[in-house]
Amino acid sequence: MKQLFNHLNFDQMRQFGTFFGLLALCALFTILSPHFFTTSNLLNVAQQSAIIAVISVGMTFVIITAGIDLSVGSVLAFSGVVMASVLHAGLPIPIGIAVGMAVGFTCGLVNGMLVTYGKIPPFIATLGMMSIARGAGLWYTDGRPISGFDDSFRFLANGEIFHIPVPVIIMIVVYAAAHFVLTRTKMGRYTYAIGGNADAARLSGINIKLYLNIIYGIAGLLSALAAVMLTARLNSAQPIAGIMYELDAIAATVIGGTSLFGGKGTVIGTLIGALIIGVLRNGLNLLGVSSFIQQIVIGSVIIGAILLDTNLKNSKK
C-alpha cells in the first residue's frame, strides 16, 4: 500500500483522499441509519445525483480552462421548455431531444464567443447568459410549466436496463466519454494546456479561441441533456427548473479536486464530488435533518474540502 502511494503524485493522492471521504461518509450513514446501505437507496442516490453529475462534467471542462459557467441551470430550463414544446407539437422524441440539445449548445457557444471574441471575463459573460436564458424560458412559456409526456419519453428517467436506472446509465456513459476525451484526445490535452498557461498554449500553436468555444458549447449541450433527464423525471418541463444548479455543479467540481485557477482536474474527481453531495443530502434526509441545516452542512463540506486542499498543498511546497 505504501509503495503504491509513493508512485502517486499530489493530484492522484488528492483523488484518493476524496474517494476515501466518500467511503467514510457512506460508512457513517450506514452506522447512523439502517435504511442507508441498501441497494434501492444507493441506486436512489445515484439517480438523484445523475442530473447534477452530468452538468458538472461541462463545468469541469470549463473550470479546467480557468473559466466558470454560471448559466448551466438557466440553460437547462430554457432548453427543457423548448424541447417540451416540440414534443407537445407532436414531433418524434429524438427530434424534440435534438432541438433541446441544439438550444443548449447554442447558448454555450454564445458564452464561448463572448469570452473569446468579446474578451469578457467568463464570470460576467455567463452571468449575463444566466439571466438571458432564464428570461427566455419564462417568456417562451409565459411562466407556465409544460407537462405530460409519453411513457417512452419518461423511460429516460424511470426506466431500467439490467436493473440499473436509465439516468445512472446516462451518467456513466457521459463520464466515460468525458474521461476518455480529457485523457486520450487532443482536445483534452489542449483543455489542460489552455487552463494551465494560455500564453504558452498559444505559443505552442493551439487555437485557443476554437477550443474554448467548443468547451463552452459542450457545457451548454450537457445542460440540455440534464434538461431531458429532469423533464422526464418530473413529467414536466419548468421554466424555473435548475435554479442554483450552477452552485451544486461548481461545488461537485471543486470538491473533486479541480482547481479554480485552471489547468488541473479530472472528471472522476467530479463524479466523486457529485456523489458526496448526493450522499450527504440523502443521508441527512434519512436522519431527518432539516433542509435548512443540510445547506449549512454542504456549504461547510465545500469549504472544508478546499481548506484541506490548499493547506496540504502549501505544506508540500
Cell digits of residue 122: 467568463
Cell digits of residue 287: 436522519
DSSP 117-130: TS---HHHHHHHHH
Answer yes or no whether residue 310 interacts with another protein by CB under 8 A. Answer: no
Comparison of 144 and 184: residue with beta carbon closer to another protein: 184
Comparison of 163 and 316: residue with beta carbon closer to another protein: 316
Q: Shortest distance, CB of residue 211 to another protein, whole angstroms? A: 12
Q: Shortest distance, CB of residue 311 to another protein, whole angstroms? A: 19
Question: Applying CB under 8 A, which of residues 201, 219, 229, 277 lies at the interface with another protein?
Answer: 201
Stretch that binds another protein, among 35-43, 137-145, 190-198, 240-248 (CB under 8 A): 190-198
- Is the Cβ–Cβ distance between 247 and 70 less than 8 Å? no
For 3-16, letters b (16+ CB in 10 Å) and e give: eeeeeeeeeeebbe
Stretch that binds another protein, among 93-101, 150-158, 193-201, 290-298 (CB under 8 A): 193-201
Residue by residue, what is the 3-state secondary structure of 165-220?
Answer: EHHHHHHHHHHHHHHHHHHHCHHHHHHHHHHHCHHHHHCCCCCHHHHHHHHHHHHH
Measure the CA–CA gap between 100 and 5, rounded to whole angstroms. 45
Q: Which of residues 256-295 bind another protein (CB under 8 A)?
A: 263-264
Question: Applying CB under 8 A, which of residues 38, 147, 185, 311 lies at the interface with another protein?
Answer: 185
Comparison of 38 and 204: residue with beta carbon closer to another protein: 204
Answer yes or no whether residue 220 interacts with another protein by CB under 8 A. Answer: no
Stretch that binds another protein, among 70-78, 107-115, 151-159, 200-208 (CB under 8 A): 200-208
Q: Which of residues 11-40 bind another protein (CB under 8 A)?
A: none
- Is the Cβ–Cβ distance between 113 and 125 less than 8 Å? no
Stretch that binds another protein, among 73-81, 94-102, 184-192, 241-249 (CB under 8 A): 184-192
With a CB cutoff of 8 Å and minimum separation 6, the contacts of 292 are none
Phi, psi of 189 (to 5 degrees): -60, -40
Q: Which residues bind another protein (CB under 8 A)?
A: 9, 183-186, 189-190, 192-193, 196-197, 199-207, 263-264
